[in-house]
Every structure is written in C-alpha cells, then in structure tokens.
A = this chain, B = another copy of it.
C-alpha cells in the first residue's frame, strides 16, 4: 500500500505508529457496525433498494438509541443543573412544567456541593457525590463503605482503563480475563502491551465460572513466566448474560486469596438481573472476612459500576465509578494522580451517578412515577429477552440458555460445513460470515462471537434485546432458515 512507502512523504503510517494500538481489536464497533451505519445513512437518504426498511443496532448496549426513554426524575434534575436560573422560577417549574418539589430540592442540594457543573471537580469526583455512593453501597451490601475509596469515572470503561494502567507493570503482567468477554479488556491490555490470560467460562453451566479451568489457565500462564496478578469477572456477564451464584463468587474470592490476585469486578449490569438476585463481590468478600476473621484481609478488590446500563441507560453521559477495597494507600495515591492528568469525570455525569444511587424514596413526590418508569423498563427488557430466547429455541442448530441478566443473549450457532467453506473463501470466520449475511439481508446488526472470544470450533453471536417490536426477531428467524437451506 502507498502509505508503507517513505515516498508517500507522510511521517506517520500504519506500520510505524504504536504497534500496540494497531494490535488492539474492538469488534463491537468494527466492520459490521460501520457497514450498518452506512445502511442507515442510505435509508435516511431515501434510497430504497435494500431488502429492509430499518437498521436495528443490536450490536451495542445503547438503550436510548433504541426504544428506552430516560427516567423523568433524572432528566428534570439535570435540566435544572444545566440551567440553575430556572430555580428563580420555582412556581413555573411546579405549576406549569410539572416538576415536583423533590426534583427542585435535589437540584439545589447538588448545586450546593458541585458549584457549577461547568467547573472541574476534584480529580476523584465531587466529595459529596462520593459520600452518597458510599451510603448506597452500605445499603446495598450491609457493610461500611468510605467516600475516600470511591473514584468517579467517565463510564466504567474509563475506570477499567485507569485500573489496568496502574496494575500492569510490564509485558509480563498477566490479567485473567473470562472468555467470552467484553472486548474492552483485551483491547486495553493490547494497548498496554500486557498479557491477557484467558479463562473459559462454562457454557454448559449457564456460562458460570469453572474453577478447575480457571486454575489451569492460571498455572499454565505462571509456568510460562507470566506474573498473573489480577482477575477480571464480569457479573452479570457480558456477552453471556450469566448471573453468578454465591458459590461461584465465593470460589473466585477464595482463589484470589490463595494466589494473591486483585479482583476486578465489572458489575455494571447489577440491576439487569432476571433470575435470582445480584450479589456483589464486595458484600461476599466482607461476609467471608466476617466468617473467618483475618483470612481475607489482604484481598484487593475493585468494583465498577456505570450509569450506562440498568434501567437508567444513560450511556451518552459517560458516568460511572469504581470502589477500591483493601488497596494500599500509596497505590491509591498513584491512582489519584493518574486520573488527575485527565482532570475529572464529566460533572453532569457525576451528578447522574448520584441520582442513580439515590433515587426518590417511597413517600417522596417523584417516587411513584420513578418506580413506574423503572419497572416498565425492567419488565420490557425481560419480555424482550424471553421473546428472543423463544425464537432462538425454534431455530435449527441454535442453542441458547435461559436469559438471566445483562442486556444480551449469546447463542451458539451450529453452521453447516458448506457455510464454513464459503466464509473461508471470503477470508472470514464462519460467525463473521453469518453476521454479515444477516446484516445484509435484514438490517439487524449483531456481533460475531469471535469479537468476544469463544472455544475453538464453537460459534456464537451476541445480540442485545433492547430493540422494540417483534418484526426484527421474525426477520432473524426467516434469514436463519434461508441461510441453513442454502448451505446445508
């Protein structure tokens, strides 16, 4: 290619930039997503020779791009934070715009501690918002939490980036990452030139954590001279949708204690749980510390949360936080310095975190509507998950466990040999090939399993169940039948 040659004159080309950036892969926004956006622009321009009339972006957990409406209480408070002059007309807000008194009070309270949302906050976030998060964690887990251990971030992704930056010492540093995984982890480790140590989740047990497999991955990496020092757990799972049992969580903590591994618990889907209840790593660690005093004191845990998922679904605001448990104070200082370089997380996003962890309480004026909206979103997601799952059950060669949580289904697809051959002819993996044909035929954009990692020989795709209606589900079923007929 032209750019390889120094004669192109440019200083930077794809062969002399940062090789670790080049090596990073991020399929969630890769070729398929780009192509789907082209189709969308094409349709918006009024062109109509495509076999579908709408693009369904089921490739990314982006609720408000699809059907989900923002929660009224949250957005009313944010509107006042953006324009505090509205507080000079409280009567208009109440009488003419339907703002409840608790909306106004919350906005006043936040403005008092934030100042202007246009000002930088402390690097680790507004102290009073960290305090509110700590109180939420105490209510959630039944154990103390301290604002000093909480760091606001621009979504959980930015928190993961911070933690991996600090933890990874050099290319020998190994981080245990579940397979399949959200590709933020492998991409960040690529950029950092650290070592990803994959461990496979057990599809036969609803994508649970198989301790024997985990140990084997760990021992193999250690034997190869890798300094394995942390383990990533995504619970509820992405892309798997799995919700871990108490037993699974306990065994991971026990393993981390034995092998001195820092636990990175990605818990952004903690309210997206359809079966059972969410159990936080923090709660379980404190529980185990209580049961066996002294035994788990040295376990280091970082737990991440976000406003992007759950019923809040405010991805575009880039709000999130992480809590550190058991970290060395000097290491925390380095984390503080690292986040300082980027100054602070978006302040309006920080306020949104506060609204998420401290919603209107029973008896407060906004509570009823809040609860109604919240429940409707939850029920809608569960219904859609169930409907999609039902469709998958009817599809030839498709296997998919009962939806447990998060925003995704991750079915296995057993494709005919002829499809694999056609894929190879195109230079694609069979799952990529399948997803590309699906997009071209239906406008539905999903992500091939290879973007998350999967066992050799197995094929999957990840789809969100956020899109409304049943038409798009029907179009997947129809496509699948035709695909199988063609390549059988």
A80 to B79 CA separation, bound complex (whole angstroms): 7
- Chain B residues contacting A17 (CB-CB under 8 Å) are 166-167, 169, 331, 334
Q: Shortest beta-carbon distance, A295 to chain B, in Å?
A: 11
Check if A290 is an interface residue, CB within 8 A of chain B. no
| Known interface pairs A9-B260, A11-B262, A21-B165; 20 further A-B residue pairs with C-beta atoms within 8 A, sorted by A's residue number | A11-B230, A11-B261, A12-B327, A14-B330, A24-B337, A26-B340, A26-B341, A29-B337, A65-B119, A75-B83, A75-B84, A81-B82, A89-B96, A154-B318, A316-B346, A316-B347, A318-B343, A318-B346, A346-B348, A348-B348
- Chain B residues contacting A81 (CB-CB under 8 Å) are 82
30 examples of A-B residue contacts, CB within 8 angstroms? A8-B328, A10-B298, A10-B300, A10-B327, A10-B331, A12-B229, A12-B328, A13-B330, A14-B328, A14-B333, A17-B331, A19-B170, A21-B165, A21-B337, A24-B338, A89-B96, A117-B316, A118-B313, A119-B316, A120-B315, A155-B342, A155-B343, A157-B343, A316-B344, A316-B346, A316-B348, A317-B346, A317-B348, A346-B346, A348-B348
Q: Shortest beta-carbon distance, A185 to chain B, in Å?
A: 10
Interface residue ranges, A against B (CB under 8 Å): 1, 3, 8-14, 16-19, 21-22, 24, 26, 28-29, 37, 60, 62-65, 70, 72, 75-76, 78-86, 89, 92, 96-97, 115-123, 154-155, 157-158, 161, 165-170, 184, 187-188, 191, 229-230, 260-262, 297-298, 300, 313-318, 326-331, 333-334, 337-338, 340-349
Q: Shortest beta-carbon distance, A353 to chain B, in Å?
A: 13
A277 to B446 CA separation, bound complex (whole angstroms): 51
B166, A18: Cβ atoms closer than 8 Å: yes
- Chain B residues contacting A78 (CB-CB under 8 Å) are 82-83
- Chain B residues contacting A314 (CB-CB under 8 Å) are 118
Known contacts A64-B115, A316-B117, A328-B14; is-contact A82 B85 (Cβ 8 Å): no
Q: Shortest beta-carbon distance, A276 to chain B, in Å?
A: 28
- Chain B residues contacting A37 (CB-CB under 8 Å) are 122
A158 to B29 CA separation, bound complex (whole angstroms): 19
- Chain B residues contacting A82 (CB-CB under 8 Å) are 75, 78-79, 81-82, 348
Q: Shortest beta-carbon distance, A151 to chain B, in Å?
A: 14
A118, B70: Cβ atoms closer than 8 Å: yes
- Chain B residues contacting A13 (CB-CB under 8 Å) are 328, 330-331
B315, A119: Cβ atoms closer than 8 Å: yes
A89, B97: Cβ atoms closer than 8 Å: yes
A79 to B86 CA separation, bound complex (whole angstroms): 9
Q: Shortest beta-carbon distance, A25 to chain B, in Å?
A: 8
- Chain B residues contacting A170 (CB-CB under 8 Å) are 19
A341, B120: Cβ atoms closer than 8 Å: no
A337, B65: Cβ atoms closer than 8 Å: no
- Chain B residues contacting A318 (CB-CB under 8 Å) are 154, 318, 343-346
Known contacts A13-B328, A317-B347; is-contact A21 B119 (Cβ 8 Å): no
B18, A167: Cβ atoms closer than 8 Å: yes
- Chain B residues contacting A328 (CB-CB under 8 Å) are 3, 8, 10, 12-14
A116, B327: Cβ atoms closer than 8 Å: no
- Chain B residues contacting A169 (CB-CB under 8 Å) are 16-19
- Chain B residues contacting A121 (CB-CB under 8 Å) are 316
Q: Nearest CB to that of A17 among chain B residues?
A: B166
A300 to B17 CA separation, bound complex (whole angstroms): 14
- Chain B residues contacting A19 (CB-CB under 8 Å) are 169-170
Q: Shortest beta-carbon distance, A322 to chain B, in Å?
A: 14
Known contacts A119-B315, A167-B12; is-contact A92 B83 (Cβ 8 Å): no
- Chain B residues contacting A346 (CB-CB under 8 Å) are 154, 316-318, 346, 348-349
Q: Shortest beta-carbon distance, A6 to chain B, in Å?
A: 9
B154, A342: Cβ atoms closer than 8 Å: yes
Among A28, A122, A331, A345, find the residue whose CB has the most chain B CB atoms closer than 10 A. Answer: A331
- Chain B residues contacting A340 (CB-CB under 8 Å) are 26, 28-29
A297, B21: Cβ atoms closer than 8 Å: no
Q: Shortest beta-carbon distance, A196 to chain B, in Å?
A: 14
Name the 8 nearest CB pairs between A and B, nearest first. Answer: A9-B298, A316-B347, A79-B83, A64-B116, A78-B82, A14-B330, A65-B119, A64-B119
- Chain B residues contacting A157 (CB-CB under 8 Å) are 341-343
- Chain B residues contacting A16 (CB-CB under 8 Å) are 169
A338 to B121 CA separation, bound complex (whole angstroms): 26
Among A13, A154, A184, find the residue whose CB has the most chain B CB atoms closer than 10 A. Answer: A154
